[in-house]
């Protein structure tokens, strides 16, 4: 694993934003459903999540302490929110969609790298 885990965590955050926004475009390309794309693009939370993710990625890449804390808070909030959704799928004995599992793995990977002592020590600015 690279020595600069803060940059690795920033890269995972950027990958999440690419997957998150790219999913809207991929859905549009695969289904041609412009209404779903317009709905997703019209939601303020879509753009807030993308902006916060890019801000965290940029901050971690430049080793800012605030980015470490904001990243930690954001991923914990997202994990709590996703656990509720997963509970609904599991209660109905159905498998969650693959995209949810990809995002969950990005969250867990981000959190694992972020809380490593190396990442914490690098974020000192």
pLDDT attached to residue 23: 83
* DSSP 8-state assignment for residue 95: P
Report the distance separating Cα 114 and Cα 30, nearest Å.
34
Mean pLDDT on 26-52: 87
46 band by pLDDT with thresholds 50, 70 and 90: confident
pLDDT score of 2 more than 70:
no
Report the distance separating Cα 104 and Cα 110, nearest Å.
10
1 band by pLDDT with thresholds 50, 70 and 90: low
pLDDT, tens digit (0-9, with 9 covering 90-100), for 78-116: 999 999 988 888 888 777 788 788 889 999 999 999 999
CB 63 within 8 A of CB 5: no
The tokens of 104 are what?
């969950």
Which residue is it, tokens 């990243």? 71
CB 13 within 8 A of CB 71: yes
pLDDT, tens digit (0-9, with 9 covering 90-100), for 4-32: 899 999 999 999 999 888 888 888 888 88
* DSSP 8-state assignment for residue 99: H
Higher pLDDT, 83 or 37: 83
Question: Domain limits of the chain?
Answer: 5-122
Higher pLDDT, 91 or 69: 69
Mean pLDDT on 64-85: 94
Of 56, 55, 23, 52, whose CA–CA distance to 40 is shortest? 23
CB 89 within 8 A of CB 95: yes
């Amino acid at each position: 694993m690279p020595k600069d885990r803060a940059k690795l965590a920033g890269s995972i955050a950027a990958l999440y934003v690419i997957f998150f926004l790219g999913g809207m475009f991929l859905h549009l390309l695969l289904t041609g459903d412009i209404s779903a794309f317009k709905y997703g693009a019209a939601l303020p939370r879509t753009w807030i999540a993308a902006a916060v993710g890019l801000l965290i990625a940029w901050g971690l890449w430049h080793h800012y302490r605030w980015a470490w804390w904001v990243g930690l808070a954001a991923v914990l909030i997202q994990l709590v929110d996703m656990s509720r959704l997963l509970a609904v799928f599991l209660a109905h004995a159905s498998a969650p969609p693959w995209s949810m599992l990809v995002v969950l793995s990005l969250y867990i990977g981000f959190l694992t790298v972020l809380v490593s002592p190396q990442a914490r020590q690098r974020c000192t600015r």
